[in-house]
Structure 1
Amino acid sequence: MTPTRTLTRDEARRIIVRAQLLDADRPGDVVEVGEQLGYIKIDPTATIAPCEHTVLWSRIGWSYEPGQLQKAVELDRLLFEFEGAFRPVSLLPLMLPVMRTWPRRESSRQWLEANAAFRADVLARLEREGPLLASDIPDTAQVDRAPDGWYGKNQVPHMLDFLARQGEVAIVGREGRHRRWDIAERVYPRDLPEYDEPEAERLLDERRLQAAGLAKQKSPWTRNGMAGEPVQVEGSKWRFRADPAALAALDEGDADGRDDPGGRVAFLNPYDSVLFDRPRLQEVFEFEYVLEQFKPAAQRRYGYFAHPILMGDRFVGMLDAEVDRKNDVLRVHAVHEFLPFEPEEHDIVQAELAELGNWLGMPVTGAPER
């Protein structure tokens, strides 16, 4: 039996940073980011910019413009919106087997059955008049779902989300933050490859591990199952799985004797995918990340929506900043340093702040000087 490979902590972090496209080699475009990450979270909280745009800027850099994402979704149809994220169309065939058996929760099935006529009304109107906003579709529900804090009394958004999960309807684009819906067959590509559910799930596990690079075996956060190769990480008792391509890239660099180009500074939106697996952050990066958005102001240490600062393969601080729309400036309240920055590190962070201001098209004010 081949012994399980052991990675150093540095190697483990390097694999994760590379998989998340946060190393020195920046990706070329929006679709490349979507294909590698598997999803780009959508969230309207915009102390600096909405999540989907800061995620892409932190990878692509100064050349990223929000219109590129809209083009990839609405014109090129290489990305699609599903359950609060933009995803690559290459994942759609792997998602369809589960979508076709949704819902599995009895209460959801009962609601759909009780609203069969309402469901038919929504599909018929989209077929006849789509694409449409939810506000363009009458609420003819026979049975209401209780308000849940995200939706009001109108049942149309509920029905559209249910139909989207079943693959019957799809989001064709947005007007501001409002989704525009259509019949799925007019949005999704035709002649997609077919997979049965076990095969689709296996391939999804592989894609999730590809995006993670390295994750705990059967991680409930990454949902990578037993994909990839078993590895150990020095100092950890966890059983890890590593993406084979990531291991090969690590070995190729070592074999060629090439210097690792290293990382860079990245300001990460609190909903960035690299931050989602909190246990892995603690185990591999020794970074205990807590989003303070929902804490009372008096209990916040770093700020309402502070962005973690990644430098190379280490989390070194938190950026508390927001766009001041009244004065049209990026206002930096604080750069919290976990350990005092060296002069060179301070300069690199300052340069990245200037780049962020340039991308936003506004000056940066309040940044600490030395």
Structure 2
Amino acid sequence: MAGSPITLTRPQARAIAVRAPLLTAARPAGLLPLVDHLGSLQIEHTAYVAPTAHVVAWSRLGRSYDPAELDDAVVSGDLVEFLMRLVPARDMALYRAEMANWPGDEPLREWQEDGAEWLAANDDCRLDILARLTDEGPTAASDFPDTTIVPWRSSGWTNDKNVNAVLAMMVRRGEVAVAGREGQAVLYDLAERVYPDDPVPALEVARTARAARFLSAMGIARSGGQQDPREPLVINEIGVPARIEGLRGIWRVDPTYLTDAPFLPRAALLSPLDRLVFDRKRTAELFDFDYKLEMYTPKDKRRWGYWAMPVLYGDELVGKLDAQTDRDAGRLRVHALHWDVDPSRAMMDAVQHEIDDLAAWLGVRRSDG
């Protein structure tokens, strides 16, 4: 959508950023409408409080949300796992367009060329996986024999994880897909058995549609350079161009949120991986909120806690909650509530109510200190 940029105040921009991911008092109708709007739920099994997909759903739906609903949606095929996200099945055709373009747009980057060459060198392993899945159906990664010729090399935890690396590339190529899980073990199957058989649009059509879905879920975003590689990296032609007072550069806004509809504020406790805060640069710019996930930070260097949950109040991020679910003791242990602002009585009461609601939803008692 072309045109001269509109101008937004910082509070106006924040209100859009909060309204879009459904964090106002106008709660969504249910789990599937929620995920359909957000576009995906990230999978992260760390259960310091609860797995992040469940926390994201609870933060929107409240204690009426039953985690079994998410499991049922996966089993029924309404949601599909792709690159550690649960995606509405109807969107998979958009991702499949990108899969058909693997390893990427020309000219390829060095790492893309290296990956394609490595997979080609291990094509016998890829064919062995396809043959086994064809005959036996869903199979755990650990059950595939390692028939690679050239080992996978990296500087991280994937070093020498040969079969896992082959499977990861086959997922990105659209040959295999995650078909389910047994505990922490991922089961793979042929992609044609997992993904809906919907027509796959042309690549640019798919990219435009994904960018529009992304902006609808975010409300407002930078024109390019999103910090999650699974998201559209460029949204230059989507939405309305905007300048935000006090910030440099051009942003894009979904015009759906440029209305006079009243903003209905509430308090919310967020997963550290919530859409609202996942892009830390955007969070700092829009909300002036200093935050990082400290689970990988040495304990003596943490400021807010292992899995500190950002605290939203209205259109402001006002603090971090350091809490932990102790299942054995049946407790939600609230270690600290770190305020970034001088809280009013109304703010404190609303946040305390959310902590109580979190404990009730978890089915445990709250314990402070």
> Do these two structures clear the TM 0.5 threshold for a shared fold by scoring above it?
yes
2:223/2:251 contact within 8 Å kept: yes
1:241 matched to 2:257? The reply is no
Is structure 2 residue 127 aligned with structure 1 residue 120? Answer: yes
> After the TM superposition, which of the residue ranges 272-281 and 116-125 deviates more from structure 2?
272-281
**Is the contact between residue 115 and residue 141 of structure 1 (CA under 8 Å) also seen in structure 2?**
yes
- What's the CA shift for 1:300? 1.4
Is contact 1:58–1:268 with CA below 8 Å preserved after alignment? Answer: yes
SS of corresponding position for 2:64: coil
Report the counterpart of residue 45 of structure 2 in structure 1: 44
Asked if residue 308 in structure 1 is aligned to residue 315 in structure 2, the reply is no
Map 1:253-264 onto structure 2 (within 5 A).
253=261, 259-260=262-263, 262-264=264-266
**Residue pair 2:4, 2:241 contacting (<8 A) in 1 also:** no
Q: Read off the aligned partner of 2:250 and give its amino acid letter.
A: R
Corresponding letter in the other structure for 1:184: A
Partners of 2:8 and 2:242 within 8 A in 1: yes
Q: Deviations over 1:214-259 (max 9, x none)?
A: 1122243363421111122223232111012222xx23x2xxxxx4
Select between 120-129 and 276-285 the one with higher mean Cα deviation.
276-285
Under a length normalisation based on structure 1, what TM-score does the superposition of the two structures give? Answer: 0.91
Residue 230 (str. 1) matches residue 241 (str. 2): yes
Corresponding residue of 1:256: none
Residue 81 of structure 2 corresponds to residue 81 of structure 1: yes
Q: Could you tell me which of 195, 200, 204 is aligned with 1:194?
A: 200
Q: Could you tell me which residue of structure 2 aligns to residue 299 of structure 1?
A: 301
2:169 to 162, 168, 192: 162
Q: 1:151 to 1:219 in 2, by over 3 A?
A: closer
Cα shift at 1:340: 2.8
Q: Percent identity?
A: 41
Counterpart residue type for residue 140 of structure 1: T
Q: CA deviation at 1:152?
A: 6.3
What is the letter of the counterpart of residue 200 of structure 1?
A
Q: Is 136-145 or 112-121 further displaced after alignment?
A: 136-145
Q: Look up the equivalent residue of 1:218 and give its one-letter code.
A: G
Letter in 1 for 2:143: D
Displacement of 1:67:
1.3
Deviations 1:121-170 (A, max 9, x none): 10111111011111222222222213654346452222221111111111
Q: Which runs of structure 1 show a deviation greater than 4 angstroms over 4 or more consecutive aligned residues?
A: none
Secondary structure of the structure 1 residue equivalent to 2:63: coil
Partner letter of residue 225 of structure 1? I
Q: Distance in 1 between matches of 2:167 and 2:208?
A: 28
CA distance in structure 2 between the aligned counterparts of 1:152 and 1:283, rounded to whole angstroms: 36
Contact 1:236 1:283 in 2 (8 A): yes
Where 1:322 maps in the other structure, the secondary structure is strand
Partner Cα distance (2:116, 2:223) in 1? 32
Give the counterpart of 1:146 among 153, 156, 160.
153
Higher-RCO chain (CA-CA 8 Å, sequence separation at least 6): 2
Paired letter, 1:276: F
Amino acid at match of 1:220: Q
Cα shift at 1:294: 2.1
Q: Shift of residue 103 of structure 1? A: 2.2
Q: Partners in 1 of 2:207 and 2:43 — Cα distance? A: 24
Q: In the alignment, is the contact (CA less than 8 A) between 2:272 and 2:309 conserved in 1?
A: yes
**Gap regions ≥5 residues in structure 1:** 254-258
Mapping 1:261-272, distance limit 5 Å: 262-272=264-274
1:10 equivalent in alignment to 2:11: yes
Aligned to 1:44, what secondary structure does the other structure show? coil
2:366 counterpart residue number? 364
Report deviation, 1:334: 0.4
Q: Is the 8 A contact 1:316 1:337 kept in 2?
A: yes
The superposition leaves residues 268-297 of structure 1 with CA deviations (integer Å, 9 ceiling, x where unpaired) of 111112112222212211112222222222
Distance 1:115 1:217 in 2: 38
1:45 and 1:51 in contact (8 A); partners too: yes
CA offset digits 1:165-213 (Å, max 9, x no partner): 11111112111222111111111111x1332222221222111111110
Amino acid aligned to 1:228: G
Q: Distance in 2 between matches of 1:233 and 1:152?
A: 44
Task: Give the Cα separation in 2 of the matches to 1:5 and 1:147.
Answer: 45
Residue 290 of structure 1: aligned partner: 292
1:329/1:126 Cα in 2 relative to 1: closer, same or farther (>3 Å)?
A: same
Question: Which residue does the alignment assign to 1:176?
Answer: 183
Q: In the alignment, residue 145 of structure 1 is paired with which amino acid?
A: W
Give the RMSD, CA atoms, in angstroms: 1.9
The 8 Å contact of residues 138 and 189 in structure 2, kept in 1 or not, is answered as yes
Structure 1 residues 88-125: Cα deviation after superposition (integer angstroms, max 9, x where no partner):
22322222222112124111111111111111110111
**Partner amino acid, structure 2, of 1:244:** P
Whether the 8 Å CA contact 1:40–1:273 is kept in 2: the answer is no
CA positional deviation for 1:4: 3.0
Aligned to 1:109: 116
TM-aligned CA deviation for residue 316 of structure 1: 0.8
String of CA shifts for 1:63-94, please: whole Å, max 9, x gaps: 2122111111221x121111111112232222
For residues 340 and 186 of structure 2, the distance between their equivalents in structure 1, rounded to whole angstroms, comes to: 40
